[in-house]
Amino acid sequence: MENIAPKPIPLKHVAIEGGFWAERQRVNRERTIPAIYRKLEETGRIKAWSGIRTHEMPRERSVVHMFWDSDTGKWLESVAYSLATHPDPELKSIADELIDAIEGAQQGDGYLNTYFPLLDPAGKWANLRDWHELYNAGHLIEGAVAYFQATGERKMLEVLRRFADCIDATFGAEEGKLRGYPGHPEIELALVKLYRETGEERYLELARYFVDERGRAPHYFDLEAAKRGESREDFWAQTYRYCQAHAPLREQTEANGHAVRACYLYAGIADIALETGDEELLTLSRRLWDDLTQRQMYLHGGVGPSHSNEGFTFAYDMPTETAYAETCAAIALAFWAQRMFHLDPDSRYIDIMERAIYNGSLSGLSLDGVGFFYANPLAAYPGVNPMGRWSGILDSGHFRRVDWFFCPCCPPNISRLIASIGEYSYSQQGSRIYVQLYHENSVTLAIGGQSLRLEQVTEYPWDGAIAFQVNAEQPLSFELALRIPDWCGEFAVSLNGVRQAVSVEKGYALVSREWTDGDRLELLLAMPVERVLPHREIRQVAGQVALQRGPLIYCLEEADNGPRLANVCIPSTAKLEAVFDGELFGGVAVIDGEALRIEPSPENSALYRFHSREQVAESAFRFRAIPYYLWANREPGEMRVWLRSC
Amino acid sequence: MENIAPKPIPLKHVAIEGGFWAERQRVNRERTIPAIYRKLEETGRIKAWSGIRTHEMPRERSVVHMFWDSDTGKWLESVAYSLATHPDPELKSIADELIDAIEGAQQGDGYLNTYFPLLDPAGKWANLRDWHELYNAGHLIEGAVAYFQATGERKMLEVLRRFADCIDATFGAEEGKLRGYPGHPEIELALVKLYRETGEERYLELARYFVDERGRAPHYFDLEAAKRGESREDFWAQTYRYCQAHAPLREQTEANGHAVRACYLYAGIADIALETGDEELLTLSRRLWDDLTQRQMYLHGGVGPSHSNEGFTFAYDMPTETAYAETCAAIALAFWAQRMFHLDPDSRYIDIMERAIYNGSLSGLSLDGVGFFYANPLAAYPGVNPMGRWSGILDSGHFRRVDWFFCPCCPPNISRLIASIGEYSYSQQGSRIYVQLYHENSVTLAIGGQSLRLEQVTEYPWDGAIAFQVNAEQPLSFELALRIPDWCGEFAVSLNGVRQAVSVEKGYALVSREWTDGDRLELLLAMPVERVLPHREIRQVAGQVALQRGPLIYCLEEADNGPRLANVCIPSTAKLEAVFDGELFGGVAVIDGEALRIEPSPENSALYRFHSREQVAESAFRFRAIPYYLWANREPGEMRVWLRSC
């Protein structure tokens, strides 16, 4: 084993032409990417770039205008990933036109923003705490790097390098620079991407500076507030925990505040730790990871239960109906998870990456690709809206996916994740190939100057049988490291039909040999329906059970099971059966089983009844659970992940 | 039976010198009333009255200044009730000085307000929807009527008559008047009180006008908003449901919006129905009552689950930890309940009045009389604050009573309720005396020109034995109507030691005879511990059970039962025992019983566990439940009313 860190196998080398993700990517290309572009246009976000030069302002000025550029950046990034594997000249020409406009909007000093130059010139860099210039920069940088990697064209990359240089000239510990850092982290991980692509160490150093300066005294957010004539107490969020700046980062022990900010920041820290070998940052990353994933993560990989701060509250606090669990936060957790693996190779990170992708992230998009969730609750009831109960009161309707948000961070985020799923599928460390995600695809590997193609054939996540077919011109030695997921209790490996004894190291079954063309490795992951019980401190679902099969969390919907799901109980002895339904949602495995409905008869309309005078009635019925990520794709109704256990 | 409606027996005729309420009234007099006065002083509310004349402004201008006068009004009302039964020259002189200042603040046209004359003269009557002038007026009128009834002194009453005349001259359906009505109802019931005290029908007519005009088209709140240059859409609460003005009142079918506004309004409607004999208002009252109490009321009589609108959401929506259930709303429900009884004599109203008083209202005050709850949740967990999860995030502390609020409507409200409890104890309808609340007291009755004194001797609510001792100079015929509470399954009546067969009519056991001095009537209400089950639509507590004994709801606190109350299960077969603990809280009945703690061992720290690999452990323990209204009077910790049933 070479003593270097594993890296993802790039997107371009992973061809996805069938199976679970091919269909999701097709919908993303054909529906989601165009739909988001239309919204960017309609809302003035596209026109704002040329408007900077022509002084034509967008139709309406809104309080989220300061964050507009991040939406463009993420959309461009999604387009880049899509173009990388599915070239589309028409889409590319739209992107190129946008890139020209972005280039045209750049100021002489490299500054790039559609809000401040015309709408508030004096506001430039005046409020890093709230005004998102560096957050926008990060997303534009990510888009630029992705676009260069997809197309080989440098224009966008050069524009963003100039902006990064402008930022580097403005912020830092050196004399004459502002000691600022972003209120909404994101640029840290983007700068590491820019460093990796360009080899320019200043970008890595700038990212490291942002991490090191964060939360230090004298507090930059205090200083800049004073310059604006405000005091610390005027901060709407009341606490710098909101933006993970309440203490120097290396002293922090818990995941805090706004969940998306937190996970982007932590992902950036992991990147910096990997690139710099900073042991303290590795320790910090593990500490924050353990806190978040062992005390503050929903079963579906969503994080941040609270609407009020879009973020964390306290350990084991897991409200279900009102779970915020922002789509972006689950996605950011997946980003962080992958980086943690590369920093500290262990399947436990990828297990959570898979959980967050297949459940709390994917639920953010409708099956038809044009409906989005911002919040991803674990139970739904008419009139309850996890985006704030108020909304529910107004319309008393069902919480449904919508086609856009006032602050539309989630739509392009889920779009870019789907477009780039190939990049999460494998990691390589010298001659060891980690298989991270199981799904139908074909990966081209380069090992010691030679290449081979490995085909992965599987119905995963509907089935646990996975076959790897080797296509190689000549024999090639390498090690396959097959992730054995945390939910899997039993597995078997066969090579060319012969059962193999394999060792498992840090969650990976290792198969090392000289592979030849036509070799077929089969992995069978037992995938029974699992009953999941919550930690004893999770009060909201005490005494309840959830169903999981393979990487998928399941839920009951009213469409299959009728209303009043709170009265449904799953007996601990109930036989639970996974059944593939080829018709439903284009083909999914559902879970069927016996349940009890325990409730008083409808004749008794008393709000409260005395036990001694009346017992409840039990009736058995056959329930059907569907994968959680597919909820709210049929007629509106109740939904529940956690069910009473009896 | 005379064909007239029953009326409360006035406060002054009910002497409370011992038992449950004597102690609460003592604490109210000695601690609560002075503490509230100090806060009124500290915050500038007292000084504001003289400031109107001297042009000295209160120290700081705050957004709640517009509501200040209501706090003064309620405090004065509480003082009046207290003086009525417990004269206190020192307290009276403080009140008289305040009344002088109020008189001095009155404008030439009778207008009375500490905000608008100096701070926003142009704002006078410009925003009835939000600016609470009529709400303030209502509370001042209530205070004035109570003060006159307590002291016989007319000054405050005359000041408020002039203000009522000013309001009457300003608002109404007549040509030249504004067709306005209050955004925050309250003045309706106050005007009926003023009418009853003065005999001036204009006040009743004005109250009726406010009710009839409410929600009519063209909508007054639209018109006045247009005058201010605003549109309907600018209304922060988004919907006139918030203030029960979304439709003409007579067309409304559900309790809606802000709960305190709703219940004050509904109480006023009941008053008007009673005084005018308006059958449609009676029907409306019954419809709203049934909706609210059969579909939207917490077990403790609290109403309005939502923090966002301080009010109602939808039927059967009963979150526990985040229950807003404002103290003022439970009190307002008790007010309404009493009025419903007088309109439609039936014990079902008083059953709910008792429930709201002993549980969701009384919980609003600490045992020491100087700590207040605004919200009254049915479960508590460190870090969760029903006043908004945000607060909990900031301090991660326990939700505790505090000594004041920014908007301090609740403290003087619970104070005036306690001071006036005597007025809720009996109603009289000719020669029928309804006993509404059981507690140690002595009532002076006037029947057909003769009087007698009836002593009620009881340990209620700790015990269901109640004795009535007759003190009369000569024999007197009347009927005692003894309320048989809804929670009571069995009762017995004895007269002078001889068991009586009694008939029960609309929830009252009737005992009619010629009573003579020394007669002793004994009522025994069986008071077992009751298990209460929720309606099948209340999803938040499905499968859970609550404990009630007599009128009191019980809860478990961490102080008695350790943490993780969500894992405590009450077996349906568990023996539950009421035990009087003479030490605890000055003497209360607690409930002891066997429970199970069902949870995995602490060694297993996994956030989610697979059922097939590990079972949970059960351990039996003896639990202790205390009356809900006494929670949060010891060391902070968890609390739960609803417990898992097994």
B530: nearest CA partner in chain A: A610
Q: State residue A139's pLDDT score.
A: 98
A61 and A200 assigned to the same domain: yes
Above 60 in pLDDT, residue B449?
Answer: yes
Q: How many Cβ atoms are within 10 Å of A109's Cβ, its own excluded?
A: 12
A147 and A217 assigned to the same domain: yes
Above 90 in pLDDT, residue B298?
Answer: yes
A550 and A525 in contact (C-beta within 8 Å)?
yes
Q: Is A38 helix (H, G, I), strand (E, B) or coil?
A: helix
The per-residue pLDDT for range A554-599, each reduced to its tens digit, is 999 999 999 999 999 999 899 999 999 999 999 999 999 999 999 8
The per-residue pLDDT for range A479-527, each reduced to its tens digit, is 999 999 999 999 999 999 999 999 999 999 999 999 999 999 999 999 9
CB-CB neighbors (< 8 A) of B293 in chain A? 607
Q: State residue B193's pLDDT score.
A: 98
CB-CB neighbors (< 8 A) of A610 in chain B? 487, 489, 530-533
CB contact under 8 A, A535 and B609: yes
**Mean pLDDT, residues B158-178 taken together:** 98
Distance from CA of B579 to the nearest CA of A (A): 20
CB-CB neighbors (< 8 A) of A388 in chain B? 308
CB contact under 8 A, A295 and B607: yes
A465 and A575 assigned to the same domain: no
Comparing CB atoms, the residue among A294, A566, A608 nearest residue B532 is A608
Structure tokens given for B280: 């449609």
Domain contains B16: no
A409 is an active site residue:
yes
Alpha carbon A118 to chain centroid, angstroms: 34
B512 and B600 assigned to the same domain: no
Structure tokens given for A20: 């679970």
A460 and A540 assigned to the same domain: no
Comparing CB atoms, the residue among B572, B605, B611 nearest residue A532 is B611
CB-CB neighbors (< 8 A) of A539 in chain B? 381, 564-566
Comparing CB atoms, the residue among A313, A543, A598 nearest residue B644 is A543
CB pairs under 8 A between A and B: 181
Query: Which conformational region is residue B396 in: left (phi greater than 0), alpha (psi within -120 to 50 degrees), or beta?
Result: left
The per-residue pLDDT for range A312-366, each reduced to its tens digit, is 999 999 999 999 999 999 999 999 999 999 999 999 999 999 999 999 999 999 9
The per-residue pLDDT for range B495-529, each reduced to its tens digit, is 999 999 999 999 999 999 999 999 999 999 999 99
CB contact under 8 A, B605 and A489: no
Phi, psi (5° rounding) for residue B586?
75, 10
CB contact under 8 A, B309 and A390: yes
Q: State residue A64's pLDDT score.
A: 81
Q: State residue B58's pLDDT score.
A: 60
Query: Among residues A479, A509, A525, which one ends one of the domains?
Result: A525
CB-CB neighbors (< 8 A) of A534 in chain B? 607-609
Query: Which is higher by pLDDT, B282 or A58?
Result: B282
Comparing CB atoms, the residue among B313, B566, B608 nearest residue A539 is B566
A578 and A556 assigned to the same domain: yes
B393: nearest CA partner in chain A: A313
Above 60 in pLDDT, residue A183?
Answer: yes
CB-CB neighbors (< 8 A) of A359 in chain B? none
Distance from CA of A422 to the nearest CA of B (A): 28
Q: State residue B391's pLDDT score.
A: 41
Q: State residue A541's pLDDT score.
A: 97
Domain contains B293: no
Confidence of residue B166 (pLDDT cuts 50, 70, 90): very high
Comparing CB atoms, the residue among A382, A545, A644 nearest residue B542 is A644
Rounded CA separation B314/B298 (Å): 13
The per-residue pLDDT for range A427-474, each reduced to its tens digit, is 999 999 999 999 999 999 999 899 999 999 999 999 999 999 999 999
Choosing from B263, B409, B410, B569, which is the catalytic residue? B409
Confidence of residue A392 (pLDDT cuts 50, 70, 90): very low
Q: State residue A57's pLDDT score.
A: 67
A645: nearest CA partner in chain B: B543
Rounded CA separation B163/A140 (Å): 64
**Mean pLDDT, residues B626-634 taken together:** 98
Q: What's the alpha-carbon Rg for chain A, to the nearest Å?
A: 25
Closest by Cα among B228, B227, B229, B232 to B243:
B232
CB contact under 8 A, A535 and B598: no
B435 and B573 assigned to the same domain: no
Structure tokens given for A211: 């991490």
Choosing from A133, A188, A310, A557, which is the catalytic residue? A310
Above 50 in pLDDT, residue B635?
Answer: yes
Is the dihedral angle over the CA atoms A600, A602, A608, A612 positive or is it negative?
Answer: negative
CB contact under 8 A, B530 and A306: no
Distance from CA of B508 to the nearest CA of A (A): 20
* Helix, strand, coil percentages, rounded to 5, for chain B: 40, 20, 35
| B502 Cβ contact partners less than 8 Å away, ≥ 6 residues apart | B493, B509, B510, B511
CB-CB neighbors (< 8 A) of A294 in chain B? 605-607
CB contact under 8 A, A608 and B309: no
Look at chain A and report how many structural domains it folds into: 3
Distance from CA of B238 to the nearest CA of A (A): 8
Q: How many residues does chain A have?
A: 646
Comparing CB atoms, the residue among A542, A569, A600 nearest residue B566 is A542
Domain contains A291: no
Distance from CA of B352 to the nearest CA of A (A): 12
Rounded CA separation B306/B326 (Å): 9
Domain contains A150: yes
CB contact under 8 A, B644 and A531: no
Angle between helices A133-151 and A89-105 in degrees, nearest 10 = 140
Rounded CA separation A71/A94 (Å): 16
Domain contains A492: yes
Confidence of residue A238 (pLDDT cuts 50, 70, 90): confident
A445-483 burial, b at 16+ Cβ within 10 Å, e below that, comes to: bebeeeebbbebbbbbbbbbebebbbebeeebebbbbbb
A343 and A268 in contact (C-beta within 8 Å)?
no
Q: How high does pLDDT run on average in chain B?
A: 95
Q: State residue A393's pLDDT score.
A: 44
Find the helix or strand (DSSP H, E) in which B164 lies.
helix B155-170
CB-CB neighbors (< 8 A) of B489 in chain A? 610, 612-613
| Measured CA distances, B86 to A168, B146, B151 (Å) | 75, 14, 11
Distance from CA of B599 to the nearest CA of A (A): 6
Q: State residue A261's pLDDT score.
A: 98
Domain contains A258: no
CB contact under 8 A, B393 and A608: no
CB-CB neighbors (< 8 A) of B612 in chain A? 489, 528, 530-531
B586 and B446 assigned to the same domain: no
Confidence of residue A396 (pLDDT cuts 50, 70, 90): low
Q: State residue A515's pLDDT score.
A: 97
Above 70 in pLDDT, residue A391?
Answer: no
Confidence of residue A54 (pLDDT cuts 50, 70, 90): confident
Domain of A470: which CATH number? 2.60.40.1180
Distance from CA of A329 to the nearest CA of B (A): 18
Q: State residue B59's pLDDT score.
A: 56
Q: How many residues does chain B have?
A: 646
Distance from CA of A14 to the nearest CA of B (A): 33
Domain contains B441: yes
A118 and A85 assigned to the same domain: yes
Q: State residue B393's pLDDT score.
A: 45
Structure tokens given for B552: 């009191």
B263 is an active site residue:
no
Q: What percent of chain A has pLDDT over 70?
A: 97
Rounded CA separation B193/B197 (Å): 6
B453 and B540 assigned to the same domain: no
CB-CB neighbors (< 8 A) of B533 in chain A? 600, 608-611, 614, 616
Q: State residue A60's pLDDT score.
A: 62
Q: Are strands A588-599 and A576-581 parallel, antiparallel or unpaired?
A: antiparallel
Domain contains B460: yes
Distance from CA of B244 to the nearest CA of A (A): 13
Residue type, B531: R
The per-residue pLDDT for range B387-440, each reduced to its tens digit, is 875 443 445 578 999 999 989 999 999 999 999 999 999 999 999 999 999 999
Query: Among residues A508, A525, A542, which one ends one of the domains?
Result: A525
Query: Among residues A459, A490, A525, which one ends one of the domains?
Result: A525
Comparing CB atoms, the residue among B530, B566, B605 nearest residue A610 is B530
CB contact under 8 A, B607 and A534: yes
Comparing CB atoms, the residue among B238, B383, B616 nearest residue A394 is B238
A564: nearest CA partner in chain B: B537
The per-residue pLDDT for range B194-231, each reduced to its tens digit, is 999 999 999 999 999 999 999 999 999 999 999 999 99
pTM of the model: 0.95
A62 and A181 assigned to the same domain: yes
A607: nearest CA partner in chain B: B535
Q: State residue B617's pLDDT score.
A: 85
Choosing from B310, B321, B423, B558, which is the catalytic residue? B310
Q: How high does pLDDT run on average in chain A?
A: 95
Q: State residue B389's pLDDT score.
A: 53
Comparing CB atoms, the residue among A314, A388, A390 nearest residue B383 is A314
| Domain boundaries, position B482 | 426-525
Rounded CA separation B277/A190 (Å): 74
A321: nearest CA partner in chain B: B540
Give the best residue of B393, B490, B598, B618 to mutate against chain A (max A CB count within 10 A): B393
A594 and A494 assigned to the same domain: no
